[in-house]
Amino acid sequence: MLTEMAPAAIELGEAFRAAGHELALVGGPVRDAFLGRASNDLDFATSASPDETEALLARWGDAHWDIGKEFGTIGAKRFGRGGPGDDLVVEVTTYRTDEYDPTSRKPVVAFGDTLEGDLSRRDFTVNAMAVRVPEMTFVDPFDGLDDLARRVLRTPIAPERSFDDDPLRMMRAARFAAQLGFDVDGGTLAALVLMTERIEIVSAERVRDELSKLLCAASPRRGLEVLVDTGLADHVLPELPALKLEIDEHHRHKDVYEHSLTVLDQAIAQETGPDGVVPAPDLVLRLAALLHDVGKPPTRRFEQGEA
């Protein structure tokens, strides 16, 4: 799949090289290529400054825009010859070496010198692989390809430091578990358990966005189990672990938590695809299925020994 990279992307790499700069495809597009998923939305990292990147993209693209120049990111679009489906959208970001204030997940941005240093700040090793363009040289300093083959999520640096720098990465661990069907590496999972309270510094909107992506994934149950089993759900969706009601050994009351996950699975099975009666994924349907019993824990009571 990587050998079939769009000619326009190769042309972009040649333009950066001619100007004396490095350019590499990074992150999700590299991971997805190994998973057999093609994309016309590509992320690149470069040694060029934001101003140099903007000038190069202005010549390469049919349109370009400032996504976040202070963070080093410029976007551009090249219209495809075969219509909108062939359009190529790119985001190019200058190498970074971020530093974090412990009271905030917003980094103090510093531009870096090397691709390897830039990759070290990624959330997981499977997202810390790169391909230098136009040379098509694969770069994998943290063994992300091995983790991809093992279907494991692991941080490229010590997980405690990674989650301390950006606590939202803990939500991403659960989200990628749901989207990719991967397991969380043991050391990464242990750090997540220890650091769940760090999620409190993340805005509710960012947490909501990650939770929505998780619920709309191919296997949300897997991600929800990561949230609950690590204790992260106690901070971001406390209604869910509260459904783990004590089971009466005499009357064998159902486990409401497991029941809710089963109802979620059943609701997903009723979705009919993008053009059907119940387009998939339906976030509202999935939320309704997951949370339909959240009123039970606060209202449950025992009378004459029965719930």
The residues near 305 (Cβ < 8 Å, ≥ 6 apart) are none
Mean pLDDT of the chain: 91
- pLDDT tens readout for residues 18-68: 999 999 999 999 999 999 998 889 999 999 999 999 999 999 999 999 999
Residues with Cβ within 8 Å of 124's Cβ and at least 6 positions away in sequence, in order, are 144, 147, 153, 154, 155, 156, 169, 172, 173, 176
Q: Which residue has the higher pLDDT, 108 or 48?
A: 48
Q: Which pLDDT band holds residue 293 (cuts at 50, 70, 90)? A: very high
Res 302: pLDDT: 58
Least confident of 5-19, 105-119, 147-161: 105-119
In 3D space, the residue among 235, 222, 239, 214 whose CA is nearest the CA of residue 184 turns out to be: 222
Question: What is the set of domains in the chain, with CATH numbers?
Answer: 1-145 (3.30.460.10)
Residues in the chain: 307
Prediction pTM value: 0.89
Residue percentage of the chain with pLDDT more than 90? 78
Give long-range contacts, CB 8 A cutoff, 24+ apart: 47-51.
Answer: 47/21, 47/22, 47/94, 47/95, 47/113, 47/115, 48/16, 48/19, 48/21, 48/22, 48/23, 48/92, 48/94, 49/94, 49/111, 50/74, 50/94
**pLDDT exceeds cutoff 90 at 290:** yes
Q: Locate 203 and state its tokens.
A: 């805005």
Task: Note the pLDDT of residue 109.
Answer: 82
Alpha-carbon 215 to chain mean position: 13
Q: How many CB atoms lie within 10 A of CB 118?
A: 25
Rounded-to-integer distance, Cα 115 and Cα 279, Å:
41
